[in-house]
Amino acid sequence: MKNIPHFKIFYYFILCSILLCGVVTAGDSDVILNGTSLYVKAGETFDFEQDYSLHVKYVNPESERVWVSLSLNDESVADSILGKDEVFTYSSNSSPVFNITMDRIYYGSSGELVTFEPVYQYVDQRYPYNPNNEKTDMKVTNSSENESKNQRVPFLNPTLLVLFAILLPYVYEHR
């Protein structure tokens, strides 16, 4: 086997990491909700960004199924009946807008409470979206998204990797 210097292996690893970081972060700007949890009482509605809303129309306690309706500007665009761990998806122009999984139903004296987790909302390119909108700040805090931001590995920042990949051959040659 050919003896390859450790420097070259490490250098190629860094270059591959740069490419991977570019691919992984390319779609982040299109995500509005990234795996969050929602709690909606039967008969109530949760309002999303871009004037979408999810209405829990009916909960069937015997079959543990939920009838949900997704609306855009108060007009229904999709309905579905979901059981535990079943996924509701909605796309626009072949691009995903929602991916919602029904997690469980809680029964209480004040009615049924439905948990949806994970919930993903992507920007619908047909409509304007302002991520700095104050309406967004009024929403339920997305703990899953905050946790995922805190779990990012700092040394995988693409800018630092490019700088490191450029300086590494210079440092290696002048040691």
Q: Report pTM.
A: 0.61
Average pLDDT over every residue of 14-24: 53
Where do the structural domains in the chain lie, given as residue ranges?
A: 6-26+155-173, 30-142
CA distance 135 to 122: 17
Q: Which CATH number describes the domain made up of 30-142? A: 2.60.98.40
pLDDT of 142 over the 80 cut: no
pLDDT at 44: 97
pLDDT, the chain, mean: 78
pLDDT of 111 over the 80 cut: yes
pLDDT of 144 over the 50 cut: no
CA distance 22 to 175: 31
Q: Which of 125, 117, 72 is nearest to 95 (CA)?
A: 125
